[in-house]
Amino acid sequence: MYKLIIFLLILCVNIKTNAKEPKLVVGIVVDQMRYDYVDRFWNNFSNNGFKKLVNNGYFLKNTHFSYLPTYTGPGHASIFTGTTPSNHGIIANNWYDKNLKQSVYCAGNGEMHTICNCSQEVEDVVSSDGKMSPHHMLTTTIGDEIQLFNPSSKVIGVSLKDRGAILSAGHSADAAYWMDKHGDWISSSFYMNKLPDWLIEHQNKNSAAQYLVGKWKYKNSFSHNLDSLLMTNGGGIIKSTPLGNTILSDLALEILKNEKLGQSKTTDFLSISFSSTDYIGHQYGPHSDEIVDTYIKLDIEIAKILDYIEQEIGFDNVVIFLTADHGVVSEPHKLQELNIPSGYYSSLEMKDELADSSKR
């Protein structure tokens, strides 16, 4: 299972012929997207999303990971810095720091505060979701290099996951936005003192609760009641439905419009990391119909973003790439159905066995 990562490019013709600076670079990460999904779901896709990237761009198929572990933090840091954990320092999502004598989180920074559309004192008490920054990352990202070249360029990262937004955007980013456990968009005092007015206005009109209406269903395979999911779990549950990708792409479009990315003479940069694919993949498995439907719906979101960029900025002025931060193993029960050696590991059973053997 080497080919877990895909890397698709639409390169503007001008880059190849005139070496003209693009007005906008967009890096899209699909969290937990396996390479084989491109082919498995090909017939489910429209002509305007994934297929447009494959058909009109460069499709790099034989790419490999040169590090472990392939988690979200190291994945995003490796994609956007272009180097490996031994250099960029994001060696896992969490690790033990021998100097600090404590476990650290790849995007965690206790000195920062949550920036939200709420009372800051209240939010920092109930949530540490915004106490983040990229300070554990030791090298520069694409966005950092763009701003080193021209500081007037805008660099923004967005994701449902803090690490998906923060590690992609880099150290010098103008902003990074992610979703807290309640389903609201937040940031960190590392980037700003308050959310922009347009974001507060957008969020007020487009809350997670407004998306979570009706049923999530696919053919006759399953039907999940979104209203009761919202009632039981709160707005943060949107992350574990395809609507998590929808609310993210809607925000990405708002960022493109309100921050006027790609509209000036310098090169702007936007990273968009879709995380619902990962939450749903973990919950239902890569062979579930929930994953099939999630990718059909994500294809529509990708198409929305490509359409906006084509209409408003023009593909000749833009470089877009799409890739994944890691893959996922097939569900053991699915492998067992096909007689492929597999099984579930129980740490509790192992502890019991060790305890028993020590008594002998």
DSSP state of 94: E
The distance of closest approach from Cβ of residue 351 to Zn ion in the complex, given in angstroms and rounded to an integer, is 29
176 in Cβ contact with 191 (< 8 Å): yes
From the number of C-beta atoms within 10 Å of its C-beta (0-12, 13-18, 19+), residue 208 rates as: buried
Choose one: 81-89, 126-134, 213-221, 323-331; the region binding Zn ion (CB under 5 A). 323-331
Is 72 an active-site residue? yes
Does residue number 325 form part of the binding site for Zn ion (CB under 5 A)?
A: yes
For the chain, give percent helix, strand, coil, nearest 5.
45, 15, 40
155 in Cβ contact with 268 (< 8 Å): yes
Query: Which residue number has the CB closest to Zn ion?
Result: 72
Among 113, 107, 111, smallest CA distance to 89 is for: 107
The distance of closest approach from Cβ of residue 195 to Zn ion in the complex, given in angstroms and rounded to an integer, is 25
Of residues 265 through 294, those in contact with Zn ion by CB under 5 A are 278
Reported in sequence order, the residue ranges of the chain that DSSP labels E, i.e. its strands, are 7-10, 24-30, 58-60, 94-97, 102-105, 114-115, 155-159, 175-179, 185-188, 215-218, 222-225, 268-274, 318-323
Choose one: 24-32, 90-98, 282-290, 314-322; the region binding Zn ion (CB under 5 A). 24-32
When the beta carbons of 180 and 278 are compared against Zn ion, the nearer one is: 278
When the beta carbons of 162 and 325 are compared against Zn ion, the nearer one is: 325
Does residue number 159 form part of the binding site for Zn ion (CB under 5 A)?
A: no
Of residues 61 through 100, those in contact with Zn ion by CB under 5 A are 72
Choose one: 143-151, 244-252, 294-302, 324-332; the region binding Zn ion (CB under 5 A). 324-332
Give me the 27-46 binding string for Zn ion, x by CB under 5 A, dash otherwise.
----x---------------
Does residue number 162 form part of the binding site for Zn ion (CB under 5 A)?
A: no
Among 290, 304, 182, 199, smallest CA distance to 251 is for: 199
Size of the site for Zn ion (CB under 5 A): 4
Please tell me which residue in 17, 63, 72, 114 is annotated as part of the active site: 72
The distance of closest approach from Cβ of residue 72 to Zn ion in the complex, given in angstroms and rounded to an integer, is 3
Residue tagged 């489910």 (tokens): 44
Choose one: 139-147, 198-206, 229-237, 322-330; the region binding Zn ion (CB under 5 A). 322-330
Angle between helices 243-258 and 276-284 in degrees, nearest 10: 170
Residues that bind Zn ion (CB under 5 A): 31, 72, 278, 325
Catalytic residues: 72
